[in-house]
Structure 1
Amino acid sequence: MNIFHTLRRIALVQPSSAYPASWPIALMRIATGVFFSASGFNKLVLPGNRAAMLQTITEAQVPCPELMAPFVAGCECLFGLLLALGLGTRPAALVLFAISGVALATVGLHQIPAGLGPIGWTSWLLYLPESLYLLITLMLIVRGGESPSLDAVWARRLARRA
């Protein structure tokens, strides 16, 4: 078997049952959840991160920054953990989608240099991490936790009882 035949087979064949198609989605869910959970935890616990979060929220002119900074950090920590576990995936992803959207609108978009053409502006937009988090959380809102997740375990148990 030559290399071209092998590459064609890999490109055209459905995923095997040994590697279900839901695994990459689970990896994205877990990685995104761990990111948000660790980021939120650090913003709550580490004084430097807490101060940076407060400064960012204050500069973004979010109302009540002294209340919103720990609230948003707590939401990132809690809902990130739930996302990583795959427990309440859709609601957790929805909260993190909202946080990412606000972060993009209040901070991320201001990092894009002025005077760019449409292609340059779009390139900068898609380079921002908030854009990627928006896309991943949107996918998880639509698809849910899939398997493996605690949502899937719970759904199987409910199906057996019915």
Structure 2
Amino acid sequence: MTELATTRSRLIIPALGGLYAALHDSAETILRVAAGLLLVTHGYGKILNPFGASGMVESLGFYPGVFWSPLLSATEFFGGILIAIGLFTRPAAFAAMIVLAVTVYFHGVVQGEGLMGAEKSILWALIMFFFVIRGGNSHSVDAKLGRQF
């Protein structure tokens, strides 16, 4: 039995199986593009002032801030563009995942906000982890090039 037939036989509304199958890759692509563009939006202010977060990154123990702050800016802004278009998806998502893991620590521990303060960063880190594992899918520049990390 094919995977689709197995899935279809287990659905409460079997007629939706075809829709789910048809939208499988598209839904993943929408998530990747949205996540990438939102990361770009978040990094836009930082890329305009790449040294602006120097004090913040040093407060987290990342010295020198003049090195880490532009790296943070580039990871969010350019990494978001790469994720959105699906080029070098895995390494860009990995870098973003590391940045987001640090924000989990920042909000949860440094700011003392606990889980409530870190929950968005945890969700974002897990979305990036998804793309580290899955790559860019068939609707990506990586797929068009026929090469992925």
Scaled to the shorter chain, the TM-score interval is: 0.7 to 0.9
| Largest Rg, 1 or 2 | 1
Please say if residues 104 and 130 of structure 1, whose CA atoms lie closer than 8 Å, have aligned partners that are also in contact: yes
Structure 1 Cα separation of the partners of residues 137 and 67 of structure 2: 35
1:144 aligns to 2:135 (yes or no):
yes
User: Which residue of 1 is the match for residue 35 of structure 2?
Assistant: 32
1:44-101, Cα deviation, whole Å (9 max, x unpaired): 21x5x863x2332132232101221112101221111100001111111111111111
SS of equivalent to 1:109: helix
SS of equivalent to 1:97: helix
Q: 1:15 to 1:109 in 2, by over 3 A?
A: farther
Query: How do 1:55-94 and structure 2 match up within 5 A?
Result: 55-94=55-94
Please say if residues 100 and 121 of structure 2, whose CA atoms lie closer than 8 Å, have aligned partners that are also in contact: yes
1:108 aligns to 2:100 (yes or no):
no
Q: From 117, 128, 132, give the equivalent of 2:123.
A: 132
Structure 1 Cα separation of the partners of residues 29 and 57 of structure 2: 31
Q: CA deviation at 1:136?
A: 0.6
Greater RCO structure (CA 8 Å; 6+ sep): 1
1:22-44, Cα deviation, whole Å (9 max, x unpaired): 12211111111112222223212
Q: What letter is aligned with 2:45?
A: N
TM-score normalized with structure 2 length: 0.76
1:8 aligns to 2:12 (yes or no):
yes
Please say if residues 57 and 69 of structure 1, whose CA atoms lie closer than 8 Å, have aligned partners that are also in contact: yes
SS of equivalent to 2:139: coil
User: How many positions carry a matched residue from both structures?
Assistant: 136
Alpha-carbon RMSD: 2.7
Sequence identity (%): 23
TM-score normalized with structure 1 length: 0.70
